[in-house]
Amino acid sequence: MRGQRFFACAARLFRHPMHAVGTLVFVMFLFMAILGSLLAPYEANEQIVADARQGPSFVHWFGVDHLGRDVFSRVVLGTADIFALAGTGTLLAVAIGTSLGLLSGYRGGWFDEILMRFFDSLLAMPAMLLALMLLGTLGPSRRSVFLVIVVVYIPIVARVVRSVVLSVKTRAYVEAARVQGESPARILFREILPAVLPTLAVEAALRFSYAIFLASSLGFLGVGVQPPSPDWGLMVNEARDSVSQTPWALYFPAGAISLLVISVNLLADGLKQAFQVEIEY
């Protein structure tokens, strides 16, 4: 019965052509991330000096950059990196943010007050500024970028979850559970969380797309993932100086960033609609 519901929901994702496209493109990137090393014809840092600065051809689909590295291979191999970085960062932020949001919304009182004022102060700063400040202290590295994603997104996720909890916790079935002596953990995770999930899934997808954005931006600014990793943002940065000779080295990774971000956004939109129908029925 639950399985049926899941499939009905998934089927609804494909009803709208834009959502279907978004979902398919996202799945394609997901395959690239998983099967990256099988798909990529070259190693990420393999230099084919003879082919350097070559444009797109049947041998090098996306061309070769000024150092003689195959752009297609780097884009494909970078997918796994961006998924690992933005994906796990988002997952951790969502897990922590959800727990804090659940607790804060359900308990209320001074706990809620202090936590929310603290989050407000974090949210008052532009995300990029906060990220740069954190990276300034932690030093630029992959781990730092991961931490930045987690820290920047916890308050946002927690706020969204809390607002849903506030409306759900006064519903009669939650009160019935309290009157039946259910433990707070069960009330939070079995009674309240399911009602939060639709909103949460949409929020998580959105966060993921922004995390890709943030990670790439930091890479581009040179304070994120360090060379010679095949990070998309970093690739755009490296290709910037020689854009007149090797524009493909800039456009393909930049295009990959936008395509992935757009597809995740469309997916989030589709999820929202799929869940909405689910709630109405």
Partner 1 sequence: MLSPSPLLNIEGLNVAYRVAGQDLPVLREISLEVLPGQTVGLVGESGSGKSTLALTVMRQLAANGVVTGGRVEFDGKGLLELTENEMRVVWGRELAFVPQNPATALNPAMRVGEQLAEALRLYGAGRAAAEARSRELLEQVRLAEPRRVARSYPHQLSGGMQQRVMIALALSGQPRLLVLDEPTTALDVTTEASVLDLLREQVGQRESSVLYVTHNLGVVATLSDRVAVLYAGELAEDAPTEDLFRQPLHPYTRGLLDSVPRLGQRKEQRPLQGIPGQVPRLRDFPNACVFAPRCPLAIELCWKERPLLDAPTPERRVRCHRWPEIMAGEVSAHRGEVKPIQRAKQEVRRVLNVEDLKVDYPLPSPFLQTLVCKSPRAVHAVREVSVGVSSGQTLGVVGESGSGKSSLARSVIGLAERSSGRVELLGIELPARLSRRSREMLSHLQMVFQNPEEALNPYLTVAESLTRPLIRLRGLSTNEARQQVPDLLAAVRLPADYAQRFPGQLSGGEKQRVAIARAFASGPELLLADEPVSALDVSVQANILNLLAELQVERQTAMLLIAHDIAVVGYLADQIVVMYLGEFMQVSPAEAIFDAPYHPYTEALLSSVPPPDPFVEQKKIRLEGELPSAIDLPGGCPFHTRCPRFLGDICAQQTPPWRETGDGKRIFCHIPVEELVQAQEPVLRFDGKRRTQR
Residues in touch with partner 1 (CB under 8 A): 1, 171-173, 175-182, 190-191, 194-195, 281
Query: Partners of 64 in the beta sheet?
Result: 70
Q: How far is the CB of 241 from partner 1 (least distance, A)?
A: 55
Angle, helices 71-82/232-240, rounded to nearest 10 degrees: 140
| CA 49 – CA 44 distance, rounded (Å) | 14
Q: Contact at 8 Å (CB) between 79 and 32?
A: yes
Angle, helices 248-280/232-240, rounded to nearest 10 degrees: 150
Q: How far is the CB of 234 from partner 1 (least distance, A)?
A: 44
CA atoms within 13 A on the CB side of 185: 0
Three-state DSSP at 70 gives strand
Closer by beta carbon to partner 1, 233 or else 270 = 270
Closer by beta carbon to partner 1, 55 or else 184 = 184
Q: How far is the CB of 245 from partner 1 (least distance, A)?
A: 55
Q: How far is the CB of 10 from partner 1 (least distance, A)?
A: 18
Closer by beta carbon to partner 1, 51 or else 182 = 182
Closer by beta carbon to partner 1, 58 or else 110 = 110
Q: Tell me 50's DSSP state.
A: G
Closer by beta carbon to partner 1, 3 or else 181 = 181
Three-state DSSP at 64 gives strand
Q: How far is the CB of 191 from partner 1 (least distance, A)?
A: 6
